[in-house]
Chains A and B, each alone.
Chain A
Amino acid sequence: TQLLEQSPQFLSIQEGENLTVYCNSSSVFSSLQWYRQEPGEGPVLLVTVVTGGEVKKLKRLTFQFGDARKDSSLHITAAQPGDTGLYLCAGEDNYGQNFVFGPGTRLSVLP
């Protein structure tokens, strides 16, 4: 079973601050995805990273996939209250057999 760990588990910051959350595994993943979920709603796909070392930007969000494809990070610049939510990473193992979610980082951006 492929396991994904996320850190920090909880993060509370002020509006305008920058932050980085991490997704790590001891296993290699063929791809990793980041989702944002609000309470009572389904996860919304933010990005998929596939190539080791890949960096993708989505407005104020920057996603990076580690060179070894075992880890990923999400950096948010100038966080806004609308960024509040549960950030989940999810990945498919290198054999295309398993798709697993990390436990999530619960982000709260205070105005």
Chain B
Amino acid sequence: DTEVTQTPKHLVMGMTNKKSLKCEQHMGHRAMYWYKQKAKKPPELMFVYSYEKLSINESVPSRFSPECPNSSLLNLHLHALQPEDSALYLCASSQDWRGATEAFFGQGTRLTVV
């Protein structure tokens, strides 16, 4: 099983809403990632969790709040977003976050902020 599952697939939210994106993997991977991808651009790293601890925060605004409840789950809590935050949000996982590891991506959540 090389699947990373993201829910929801699409999300429309207002600027005052609070919502959460969810990601799940059952490959026993110990590193999980959130990426943001704007149209016609490559994915940009937001956060890295390694062994359920936040290892990298790429200067992401606090309106994005990641959470790793256990080794299989990764959430991204959203609050007071701006229209420019509209993008495809991708979750990925890998065996570890260092070394020649292969990252497997979910299908993404298409987020629209209105």
Interface on A for B, CB 8 Å cutoff?
30-31, 33, 35, 40-45, 48, 50, 88, 90, 92, 96-97, 99-104, 106
Task: Contacts A40-B110, A41-B108 given; indicate if A101 touches B103 (C-beta within 8 A).
Answer: no
Contact A42 B90 (CB under 8 A): yes
| B107 CB–A CB distance under 8 Å | yes
Please, how many residues of chain B have a CB less than 8 angstroms from a CB on the other chain? 24
Name 17 extra pairs, CB < 8 A, besides A41-B107, A41-B108, A43-B90: A30-B99, A40-B88, A42-B6, A42-B90, A42-B92, A42-B105, A42-B106, A42-B107, A42-B108, A44-B105, A88-B42, A92-B98, A96-B99, A97-B98, A99-B45, A101-B43, A103-B41
Interface on B for A, CB 8 Å cutoff?
4, 6, 40-45, 88, 90, 92, 97-108, 110
